[in-house]
């Protein structure tokens, strides 16, 4: 029985979110669990790889966090879970590191994560999903 389920959500990937909904609903209904939804705002090094090297060009961190939280709250409604079962988390940093960190903090019993279709650079799983599978201390359900 799962008491704490972590569901990382990329708020910019609607299709991946739709794919994970039935799995989260099934596990949340079967188990008396708290579902923790997480979105991670990539940190400065990510933006610098996109050519946004100057701080004046980088979006305001607080503004990004508020927009991400608003979008995540809208997404969570699609899951149709009771509000008492849901907790939302918005953090900054490396997605894989933040997923693993929160999983430990909330003592997750299960992580349900969507993964992109593989390409030549990732071969089997997306890089974040692969890192979570390799390093998580609980079961990980990867949805494609």
Q: Report the 10 Å Cβ neighbour count for 142.
A: 18
Band of the pLDDT at 31, cuts 50, 70, 90?
Answer: confident
The Cα 130–Cα 3 span in angstroms is: 24
CATH code of residue 37: 3.40.50.620
The per-residue pLDDT for 58 is 55
Higher pLDDT, 98 or 30: 98
Q: Report the 10 Å Cβ neighbour count for 102.
A: 18
Higher pLDDT, 132 or 59: 132
Task: Dihedral sign for Cα 73, 105, 142, 44, please.
Answer: positive
Range in 19-33, 35-49, 129-143 the model is least confident about:
35-49
Q: Report the 10 Å Cβ neighbour count for 66.
A: 12
β-strands 110-114, 4-8 pairing: parallel
The per-residue pLDDT for 43 is 74
**What is the domain range of residue 119?**
4-143
The per-residue pLDDT for 144 is 84
The per-residue pLDDT for 36 is 97
Band of the pLDDT at 103, cuts 50, 70, 90?
Answer: very high
The per-residue pLDDT for 97 is 95
Cα 24-64-74 angle, rounded to 5 deg:
35
When divided into structural domains, the chain yields a total of 1
Q: pLDDT tens digits for 44-102? A: 554 444 444 455 555 677 888 999 999 999 999 999 999 999 999 999 999 999 999 99
């Amino acid at each position: 029985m799962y008491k704490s389920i972590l569901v990382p959500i990329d708020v910019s990937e609607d299709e991946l979110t739709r794919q994970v909904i039935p799995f989260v609903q099934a596990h949340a209904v079967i188990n008396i669990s708290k579902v923790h939804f997480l979105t991670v705002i990539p940190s400065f090094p990510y933006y610098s790889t996109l050519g946004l090297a100057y701080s004046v060009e980088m979006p305001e961190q607080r503004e990004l966090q508020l927009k991400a939280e608003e979008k995540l709250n809208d997404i969570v409604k699609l899951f149709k879970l009771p509000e008492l079962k849901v907790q939302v988390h918005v953090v900054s940093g490396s997605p894989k590191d933040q997923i693993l960190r929160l999983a430990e903090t909330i003592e997750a019993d299960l992580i349900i994560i969507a993964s992109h279709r593989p390409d030549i650079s990732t071969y089997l799983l997306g890089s974040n999903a692969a890192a979570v599978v390799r390093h998580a201390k609980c079961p990980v359900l990867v949805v494609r």
